[in-house]
Structures are given as C-alpha cells and as structure tokens.
Structure 1
C-alpha cells in the first residue's frame, strides 16, 4: 500500500508521478505559461506538512519524507532543480546559494513583483519547503532575494513580505 510519504518520495526520485500522471522531469520542462496557469503542481514540487485550502489531493510532507530528504542527496538535488525551474519562472537565477535577478526581470512579465496574487503564496511555500526539507541555507538565500528584489524592483505588499519572512519559523 502506498502512503503519502512513499508516493511523494517516488515522485521526487523520478520513479513515480503526481495525481495527474506527471513526472517531476516533465514538470521541469514545462513553459512559463503553463507554470503560471496551472495550480496543482507546486504542492508536489514543494511539499509542506499543512494542507492548503485548495488541491486536497496534494501530498503532505510527513516525518518520513522529511527524514528521507535529510538523508538522501538525490532528493535534495531534485528539489534544487525544482527551485531552479521556479526561479527561471520568477525571472531569477541561482549560483549555489546566490540568488539574483535576471537582466530581463520586469513587472509586466513577472507578476510576483506586484501586490498580491497566487505567486506570493507559492513563494511562501517554496521557502518553507526548502527549510523543512533540510536545505535551510537555500531557503534563507531565496527568502532574502525575494524580499530584497520584491521591495527594490517591485511593489510587494507588507503582508506578503511578512509571510516570506515568517516562512522559516518552524
């Protein structure tokens, strides 16, 4: 019998699929348009222990999965690849623990720089998931980057900034 942790771990190892039959490698290759307009994949790429208001099918990050991320470099490397996919979507790039804006970052094409929106929730989830999946330095680097870029190149609300700041308080 498949448990939520085993299903999530199989997906993250590239051995299983999400609830729609998509494999992690397939999601990494999808277009920015698809990433923006599809809302049921982010919970698989960046699991957290709490159920969201939407997408009740999403796996929760259980203690077993957290322990697996602590022990398995493949899982952490795949999560970094998932982060790189989302960073490109957000107009950002990463070199190890340095996350910065791409030259083409702009408010028209990267709506996370504006007030509100579902991408702010995605950012909170990503920070929290990285932190819980034993990548706290990467979580902190992403957190710092979005807060700094969101306030200097965008008009991100104080509420979103507060959520991003609190995302590592677990």
Structure 2
C-alpha cells in the first residue's frame, strides 16, 4: 500500500512541476491570455496595411533603422482617428500637449521623479517574484487577482471613510 501512495504522490508532484510558467512569460501577461498548447495563435497574426504609391518620390520619408514602417499596423492610432481624435498626439516625441501642460504643472508642483515608471516596474517585478515562490495550484487560477489580492481596496469601506471625513460622495449601489 505504501509504494502505491508514494508513486501517486510522485506523479502529482511531477505534474504540478510540469505546468510552471516561464518567468518572462508570466511577467508579461498576468491575465493568462496566451495560447497554452504552444500552437500558432490565429488572432495574433495581423496583416500589414496595403502598400500605397506616393504622388512623387519626394514624399517618401527617409528610412530610419529600427523605425516604423508605413505599412505597420497602428491599432491605437487607428482607433483614435476613427473616434475623431488626433493620432499624432500619441507619439512620444510630441511632448506634453498644450491642453495638458497646466495639469502636469499642477501635479508636479512638489517635484517629480523622471524615472518613476522604471522604478515602479522594478518594484512590481520584485513583488510578483516574492509572491510566486510557493504559489502553484492544481487548478489554474487568475494570476493577476491572486498576486494583487492583498492590495485590493474595499470600495464600500473607502466610501464610508470618505463620508465620515465630510467629503461629498455619490450614491453607491447596495452590497
């Protein structure tokens, strides 16, 4: 009886070890939207935009190594253009738009860190690595909610605290 129990336990342990995710894969996609069986994903293949001949050769931009191509898909810019916005405002080299300069000045009146995004990304990476040391399950679960469970705010408790502090708050749906 004892050897059978050890064999079953060994099989369960080996099965659990075989489903571990690669660290880079786990970090880039917390919501488990990847294809688990390793076959090509038909929705990740995006065809390029059609080629267009310019009116004259002087309209062609100078090629830049590593730069974008005129036929590359830009879904975010296409969505902004379809909704009537200016896709050029999404370019990082544009800087802060005129409409947002007052907001940025007000928010950064006490100073700001230039590398805050990199710093937060490193802290988040370290937090997720600490949380994933002994974090395996027999049944798959949403990684995002499991890792950040301790940081979720209770909206009703926060609303009640704001009301007790004297803040005017909108009504909330019942629990």
Q: Which bracket does the TM-score occupy, shorter chain normalised?
A: under 0.3
TM-score (norm 1): 0.19
Higher strand share: 1
TM-score (norm 2): 0.19
Higher helix share: 1
Q: Which of these two proteins has the greater Rg computed from alpha carbons?
A: 2
Task: Identify which of structures 1 and 2 has the higher relative contact order when contacts are C-alpha pairs closer than 8 Å and 6+ apart.
Answer: 2
